[in-house]
């Protein structure tokens, strides 16, 4: 459930974009543990995206990438981005990492919400990769942010 006090703080106080990003990261970190399912992780990310912010975009990306430990991992990434004060973007990343295998190595996709006619979370839940991954145990969840 969306924390209504958090929503009101974002909507009505007009906090700065950097502070907003920090609060959204904390929202995700408070709600997502390594014990919850993929479905629950996507639900929490969707709740975070329901906190309105002008000119935001959502990215759904999958593929096998090299991690910070130089190990290839299959990754489902959800990214919310919004403009910063310097005509660049803040990006909030949620990466769900799985061991690579012969099945997931072919699952490569990258799509922005603005390129879809349907809700991106409906698209994600109906995707082949979601059907595959919800029945697998993930290795790790990473929540982080950056600026482009």
Q: Which residues contact 44 (CB under 8 A, 6 or more apart)?
A: 28, 31, 32, 36
Q: What is the pTM of this model?
A: 0.87
**H-state helical runs in 14-144:** 17-31, 38-49, 120-125, 128-133
Q: Rounded mean pLDDT of the chain?
A: 88
**More confident of the two residues 60 and 145:** 60
Q: Write down the pLDDT at residue 12.
A: 40
Q: Cα angle at 24 between 18 and 25, to 5 degrees?
A: 90
Average pLDDT rounded to a whole number, residues 116-129: 98
Average pLDDT on 58-87 reads 89
Q: Which tens digit of pLDDT belongs to each residue from 73-117? A: 999 999 999 887 777 888 999 999 999 999 999 999 999 999 999
Please tell me the least confidently modeled range out of 6-10, 44-48, 79-83. Answer: 6-10
pLDDT band at 3 (very low <50, low <70, confident <90, very high): low
pLDDT score, position 15: 59
**In the chain, domain spans:** 4-147
């Amino acid at each position: 459930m969306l924390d209504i006090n958090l929503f009101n703080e974002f909507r009505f106080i007009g906090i700065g974009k950097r502070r907003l990003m920090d609060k959204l990261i904390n929202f995700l970190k408070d709600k997502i543990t390594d014990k919850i399912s993929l479905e629950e992780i996507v639900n929490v990310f969707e709740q975070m995206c329901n906190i309105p912010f002008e000119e935001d975009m959502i990215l759904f990306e999958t593929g096998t990438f090299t991690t910070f430990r130089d190990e290839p991992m299959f990754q489902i990434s959800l990214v919310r981005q919004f403009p910063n004060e310097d005509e660049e973007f803040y990006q909030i990343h949620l990466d769900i990492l799985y061991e690579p295998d012969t099945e997931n190595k072919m699952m490569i996709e990258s799509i922005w919400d603005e390129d879809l006619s349907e809700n991106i979370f409906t698209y994600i839940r109906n995707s082949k990769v979601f059907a595959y991954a919800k029945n697998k145990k993930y290795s790790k969840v990473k929540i982080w942010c950056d600026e482009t």
